[in-house]
Amino acid sequence: MGGAPSITVDVPDDRNLVPPGWYMLFVTDGEGMPSKAKWVQVR
């Protein structure tokens, strides 16, 4: 209760589809409105 919100992202096992690096992650609401981007690193 009262914890920080979190999100889980599944990344394909095929490294050719998502090579390591920095990506901008957007989340959309039920109406398709995108969030402010967050930078995430795929290793």
Give pLDDT, residue 39: 95
- The answer to whether the CB of 22 falls within 8 A of the CB of 39 is yes
Give pLDDT, residue 2: 73
3-class SS string, 1-43:
CCCCCCCCCCCCCCCCCCCCEEEEECCECCCCCECCCEEEEEC
Give pLDDT, residue 21: 94
Q: What is the pLDDT along the chain (43 residues), one digit of tens a residue?
A: 678 888 888 888 898 999 999 999 999 989 999 999 999 998 8
Give pLDDT, residue 4: 83
Q: What is the pTM of this model?
A: 0.61
Give pLDDT, residue 31: 94
